């Protein structure tokens, strides 16, 4: 027990427990594809391809379960430059957070883009994923995106 304001007692309270998540058939396939260094989206009944996929069309509520390959390249639709990366950021040098619309997708998803310098970032630029050497089935299996033709 520690002493708080005015000598009244306070105490820290740390709650820890390992929770578990079931991804379900749609997100589960999305993550499994990442492990294989591929992207998959879901096609809704109205023909829109959502990436990352959702189990249900957010507008109509209809179930969406037709998985379709997308990417691996895509287009930056908007971005924000990070001049001073923090410890938990995906890159330890300046980079951009960007919304990336993968080829074949109708929606954009958030990821990091490594151009080295801000002047190389442009809305509309084409990017491709840089995969990690080890993949586990996580969005972080993509280390970041980089301008097409970089490597």
Partner 1 sequence: MAELCGVVGIGQTQHDAKRTDVSAPGLLREAATRALEDAQLTWSDIDAVVIGKAPDMFEGVMMPEIAMGDALGAAGKPILRVHTAGSVGGSTAVVAASLIQAGIHDRVLTVAYEKQSESNAMWALTIKIPFQQAIVAGAGGYFAPLIRAYMARSKAPEDTGIRVALKDRLNALKNPYAHLKIPGVDFDQVANSPMLWDPIRYLETCPSSDGACAMVLSSEKAAESAPTRPAWVWSTAMKSEPTMFSGRDQVNPQAGKDCAAELYKKAGITNPRKEIDAAEIYVPFSWFEPMWMENLGFAEEGLGWEMTYEGATALDGDLPVNCSGGVLSSNPIGASGMLRFAEAAMQVRGQAGEHQVEGARKALGHAYGGGSQFFAMWIVGSEKP
Q: What is the pattern of x (binds partner 1, CB under 8 A) and - over residues 85-124? A: ----------------------------------------
139, two tokens? 């969005």
Q: Rounded to whole angstroms, how far apart are CA atoms 145 and 134? A: 16
Q: Rounded to whole angstroms, how far apart are CA atoms 126 and 147? A: 6
Q: Rounded to whole angstroms, how far apart are CA atoms 57 and 68? A: 15
User: Interacting stretch for partner 1, rule CB under 8 A, among 19-27, 103-111, 116-124, 141-149?
Assistant: 19-27
Residue 116 backbone dihedrals phi, psi, to 5 degrees? 80, -50
Minimum CB separation of residue 65 from partner 1 in Å reads 10
Q: Which is nearer to partner 1, 27 or 67 (CB)?
A: 27
Residues 31-60, interacting with partner 1 (CB under 8 A): 54-60
Binder of partner 1 out of 23, 122, 123, 138 (CB under 8 A): 23
Q: How far is CA 135 from the centre of its chain?
A: 14
Q: How far is CA 55 from the centre of its chain?
A: 17
Binder of partner 1 out of 7, 61, 124, 149 (CB under 8 A): 61
Q: Which is nearer to partner 1, 59 or 151 (CB)?
A: 59
């Amino acid at each position: 027990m520690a002493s708080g304001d005015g000598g009244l007692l306070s105490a820290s309270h740390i709650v820890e427990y390992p929770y578990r998540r079931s991804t379900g058939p749609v997100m589960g396939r999305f993550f499994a594809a990442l492990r294989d260094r591929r992207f998959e989206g879901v096609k809704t009944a109205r023909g829109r391809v959502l990436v990352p996929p959702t189990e249900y069309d957010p507008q109509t509520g209809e179930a969406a379960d037709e998985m379709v390959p997308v990417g691996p390249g895509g287009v930056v639709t908007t971005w924000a430059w990070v001049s001073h990366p923090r410890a938990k950021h995906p890159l330890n040098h300046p980079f951009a957070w960007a919304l990336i619309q993968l080829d074949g997708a109708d929606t954009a998803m958030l990821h990091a883009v490594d151009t080295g310098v801000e002047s190389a970032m442009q809305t509309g630029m084409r990017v491709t994923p840089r995969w990690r050497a080890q993949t586990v089935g996580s969005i972080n299996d993509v280390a970041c995106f980089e301008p097409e033709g970089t490597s």
